[in-house]
């Protein structure tokens, strides 16, 4: 077995080295060609410049740019990219995304003081900081890690004999199975700490899990650009909406789309006001829909699977980020004061 594994390892290394060499050669050729184009760009008619820029946007990435090309094209040869922004922030922080201030809001408990200061309705927090084995085996609750992403480790418990494991889209038959699933997540490092919280399960129709809806608002400092509606049970399905309530195609979940219930009057405006109180260019703000309106779920700084957006959506969200950053900087320079959201998050977490 070891010999076979060594052979596979050597083959994998050879494949990667070959790919790297080919990519480096491609980039060298491309950069040389781009330098040639940049020297001539300003001498060309305006309509030809525009056409060349449009064509270059299809193939150039950020690290293909030269200073000359950026200066002479005004930066129009590379499209804005949400993928590039989110990935770039993690890379610049040395692969430690939790170093950023927005990740204080990702803490499920740490954000609650700010949430309460803003008067948001939220599920009752029933327990926190508990190890799996010490969780109260209640029904009508949600169990989740104190820190986590992409629904990993989230369990919906409408009753003790029908438990839904959200990320895995699996139905469990008992609390013992929930504990076992949680231990597997810890062992595989999909959940990093054995610290869990329990909160009330919010449903539009009490006791009816099939009616549950999540609404995830992609908020760019005072402007919602995209909304994801999620139905979790009995199977997970999705619907995408623009801020105006029109259905849209994003390239994600194309095999799991549903009709959806859409947005209700005032929901987008409500989230936009909240977003404008948070000094960040982007944060996804997740809510649950209840009989009485939106109930706060969590803040999500880096949505899972963002690389799956099609190019049109990626560009639209990238442009929204750039515009939000400009608005935020302008407000800060004008002296706008924000409630100390990040200090609140630290204090709430202790």
Q: What is the pTM of this model?
A: 0.80
- Fold (CATH) for 101-107+210-347: D-amino Acid Aminotransferase; Chain A, domain 1 (3.30.470)
Distances (CA, A) of 75 to 65, 69, 281: 9, 8, 20
Quote the pLDDT of residue 270. 96
Tell the burial category of 265 from Cβ atoms under 10 Å away from its Cβ (0-12, 13-18, 19+): exposed
Which residue from 264, 253, 268, 164 is spatially nearest to 210, judged by alpha carbons?
164
Nearest-angstrom CA–CA distance, 120 and 221:
18
Backbone angles phi, psi at 295, to 5 degrees: -115, 130
Count of C-beta atoms within a 10 Å radius of residue 219: 28
**CB atoms near residue 27 (< 10 Å):** 14
Q: Could you give the C-alpha distances from 6 to 11, 12, 17, 70, 154, in angstroms and in order?
A: 9, 10, 16, 46, 38
pLDDT 10s digits, 137-193: 999 999 999 876 667 899 999 888 989 898 888 899 999 999 999 999 999 999 989
Q: What is the pLDDT of residues 192-237, one digit of tens each?
A: 899 999 999 887 766 666 557 899 999 999 999 999 999 887 788 9
At residue 50, does pLDDT exceed 70?
no
**Side-chain half-sphere CA neighbours of 82 within 13 A:** 32
The backbone torsions φ and ψ at residue 119, rounded to the nearest 5 degrees and listed phi first, read: 70, 25
Segment 243-272, tens digit of pLDDT:
999 999 999 999 999 999 999 999 999 999
Q: What is the mean pLDDT of residues 28-55?
A: 69
How many Cβ atoms are within 10 Å of 195's Cβ, its own excluded? Answer: 16
Segments making up each domain of the chain, as ranges: 2-78, 101-107+210-347, 124-200
Distance, in Å, from the CA atom of 238 to the CA atom of 5, rounded to the nearest integer, reads 40
């Amino acid at each position: 077995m070891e010999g076979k594994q060594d052979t596979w390892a050597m083959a994998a290394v050879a494949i990667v080295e070959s790919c790297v060499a080919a990519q480096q050669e491609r980039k060298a050729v491309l950069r040389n060609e781009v330098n040639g184009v940049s020297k001539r760009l300003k001498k060309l008619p305006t309509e030809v410049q525009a056409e060349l820029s449009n064509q270059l946007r299809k193939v150039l990435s950020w690290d293909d740019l030269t200073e000359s090309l950026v200066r002479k094209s005004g930066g129009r040869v590379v499209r804005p990219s949400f993928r590039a922004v989110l990935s770039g922030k993690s890379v610049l922080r040395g692969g430690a995304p939790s170093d950023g201030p927005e990740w204080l809001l990702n803490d499920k408990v740490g954000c609650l003081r700010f949430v309460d200061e803003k008067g948001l309705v939220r599920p009752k927090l029933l327990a926190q900081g508990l190890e799996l084995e010490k969780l109260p085996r209640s029904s009508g609750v949600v169990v989740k890690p104190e820190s986590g992403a992409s629904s990993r480790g989230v369990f919906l418990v409408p009753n003790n004999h029908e438990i839904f494991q959200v990320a895995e889209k699996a139905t469990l038959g008992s609390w013992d199975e929930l504990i076992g699933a949680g231990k597997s997540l810890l062992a595989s490092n999909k959940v990093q700490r054995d610290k869990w919280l329990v909160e009330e399960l919010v449903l539009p129709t009490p006791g009816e899990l099939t009616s549950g809806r999540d609404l995830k608002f992609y908020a760019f400092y005072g402007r919602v650009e995209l909304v994801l509606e999620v139905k979790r049970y009995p199977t997970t399905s999705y619907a995408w909406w623009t801020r105006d309530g029109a259905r849209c195609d994003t390239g994600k979940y194309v095999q799991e789309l549903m009709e959806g219930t859409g947005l209700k009057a005032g929901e987008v405006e409500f989230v936009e006001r909240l977003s404008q109180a948070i000094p960040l260019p982007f944060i996804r703000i997740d809510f649950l829909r209840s009989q009485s309106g939106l109930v706060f779920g969590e803040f999500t700084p880096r949505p899972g699977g963002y690389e799956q957006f099609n190019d049109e959506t990626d560009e639209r969200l990238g442009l929204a980020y750039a515009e939000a950053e400009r608005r935020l900087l302008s407000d800060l320079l004008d002296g706008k004061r924000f409630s100390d959201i990040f200090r609140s998050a630290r204090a709430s977490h202790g």
